[in-house]
Amino acid sequence: MTPPAHSAREALVQYFRTDQLLGLKEVPVRLPQPRTSAPASCKKAVSAAAAAERAELLRVLDDDQVKKCTKCGLSESRGHTVFGQGSSAARLVFVGEAPGFEEDRQGVAFVGKAGQLLTRMIAAMGLSREEVFICNVLKCRPPNNRDPAADEIAKCSPYLYEQLAIIEPEVIVALGAPAAKTLLQTTQGIGRLRGRFHDFYLSGIEGIGPAIPLMPTYHPAYLLRSPGEKNKAWADLQAVMKRLGLPLPK
């Protein structure tokens, strides 16, 4: 009899092969591999070859698909696409909303004012940007930083799902409501979602395939406007550190 894990794996293969669902026919698919024991750093104990393979898959996704994407109108107004940056072997992935002015100018995620706060938050966790992976739901900037439209999220989020399938992080932090709502497929607000782990399914279907623990927290741009909420975000990040076995500050 086929063991349940195998069925889930098969379901995931089927899912990723169904290009109508993800719209990513050409992207090579890697399936989650069994984990080795978790290291104390924030990079997975994967071989150099496996990390290079993941980096190459990310590069192909970026160069062949994201940079050339014209699936929605944002492609007409963008300066650069913003794929995301960091380690292909990251145990922790941060997902934001969409590039802003500075990110669109540089083609790099979270480098404006909110990004500088995120960099400090990551440093407070004892980590560097290079050890984690930082990306967004949308790869192009909405004009005047307006909220992402539902159809833009629907067309762009398959790239994010593919990034997460390649990296296979142990924990995801969703920064702000659009990221949390997209990944958890919920309409609940960030105030209700934050503060506890949720199951994120790579398949996009609850209960199908492997789940990754996801911590929703406040977006750094919100924290810049509401610094009184920083202690809640820090509590969320400490829960993430605990989950990853990282040393907590005394």
Among candidate residues 137, 167, 154, 133, the one with its CA nearest the CA of residue 57: 167
| Nearer to ligand URA (CB atom), residue 112 or residue 213 | 112
CA–CA dist 34, 169 (Å, integer): 12
When the beta carbons of 86 and 99 are compared against ligand URA, the nearer one is 99
CB of 84 vs ligand URA, minimal distance in Å: 8
Q: Rounded distance, CA 137 to CA 154, Å? A: 10
224, containing H or E segment: helix 220-225
Q: Which is nearer to ligand URA, 109 or 165 (CB)?
A: 109
The distance of closest approach from Cβ of residue 157 to ligand URA in the complex, given in angstroms and rounded to an integer, is: 14
Minimum CB–partner distance for residue 115 and ligand URA (Å): 5
Smallest distance, ligand URA to C-beta of residue 29, A: 26
- Cβ proximity to ligand URA, 99 vs 209, nearer residue: 99
Q: How far is the CB of 123 from ligand URA (least distance, A)?
A: 17
**Residue (141 or 198) nearer to ligand URA, CB:** 141
d(CA 17, CA 7): 15
Q: Residue 175: in which H helix or E strand, if any?
A: strand 171-175
Coil, strand or helix at 236: helix
Residue 98 beta carbon to ligand URA: minimum distance, rounded to whole angstroms: 6
The DSSP secondary structure of 56-122, one letter per residue, reads HHHHHIIIIIITT--SSTHHHH-SS----EE-TTBSEEEEES---HHHHHHT-SS-SHHHHHHHHHH
- Element containing residue 214 per DSSP (H, E): strand 211-217
Which residue, 89 or 118, is less far from ligand URA as judged by CB? 118
Neighbour-count burial of 80, counting CB atoms closer than 10 A to its CB (0-12 exposed, 13-18 middle, 19+ buried): middle
Q: Whole-angstrom Cα distance, residue 78 to residue 80?
A: 6
Q: Which residue is nearest to ligand URA (CB)?
A: 96
Listed residue (155, 134, 154, 138) closest to 146, CA to CA: 138
Between 98 and 240, whose beta carbon lies closer to ligand URA? 98
- Distance of closest approach, residue 114 Cβ to ligand URA, in angstroms: 4
Binding site for ligand URA (CB under 6 A): 96-100, 103, 109-110, 112, 114-115, 136, 221
